[in-house]
Amino acid sequence: MKTATNGNNVKIHYKGTLANGEIFDDSRSRGSTMTVTVGKGSLIKGFESALVGMTEGQTKKISLAPEEAYGPVIEQAIISVPTNAFPENFKFEQGVTVQGQNATGTPVMAKIVDFNKETVTLDHNHPLAGKDLNFEIELVEIEETTETDE
């Protein structure tokens, strides 16, 4: 039976839930598996570590602390900006995610935490930062890999 190791391309299904049972992501609801290269660093640390050693067809449940997932909430990532930094007719709504650019022109996402006539408080943390996450992972397939000269 094939076992996943670093460098393998694997197809997985997964369901992510919060401590209260709320589902925040589910590959089956999208109708397709996700393909990743184990050990490439494209997944959160704890999730990727859980793939190593899994066999095809195996299902595993894991619980991750924030440090193994999206990290703690960083208070310095919650900032206030003047309301005039937004378009003139912008409709402010608490909890809405907005996109803008930082000083270097790089796109950034933030959630509106609070607002008044003069300022808007934006949270630039990942929406799952500071949260304990639970995953049910099914390793569907380990793809055959061929050696290449790079």
Question: Topology of 9-71+129-142 in CATH?
Answer: Chitinase A; domain 3 (3.10.50)
Provide the pLDDT for residue 22.
97
* Calpha distance 142→3 (Å, rounded): 8
Provide the pLDDT for residue 147.
55
Q: Which residue from 45, 50, 71 is spatially nearest to 62, judged by alpha carbons?
A: 50
Any idea what DSSP says for residue 150?
-
Question: Topology of 75-123 in CATH?
Answer: Thrombin, subunit H (2.40.10)
pLDDT over 60 (residue 149): no
* Residue 95 CB contacts under 8 Å (≥ 6 apart), including other chains: 111, 112
State the pLDDT confidence band at 146, using cuts at 50, 70 and 90. Answer: low
Contact (Cβ atoms closer than 8 angstroms) between residue 30 and residue 36: no
Q: Is 102 helix (H, G, I), strand (E, B) or coil?
A: coil
Whole-structure pTM value: 0.82
pLDDT per residue as tens digits for the range 52-100: 999 999 999 999 999 999 999 999 999 999 999 999 999 999 999 999 8
State the pLDDT confidence band at 117, using cuts at 50, 70 and 90. Answer: very high
* DSSP output for 18-85: ETTS-EEEEHHHHTS-EEEETTSS-S-HHHHHHHTT-BTT-EEEEEE-GGGTT----GGGEEEEEGGG
Q: What residue segments make up the domains of the chain, in order of their start?
A: 9-71+129-142, 75-123
- List the structure tokens of 120: 């808007």
pLDDT over 70 (residue 109): yes
State the pairing for strand pair 34-37/59-64: unpaired
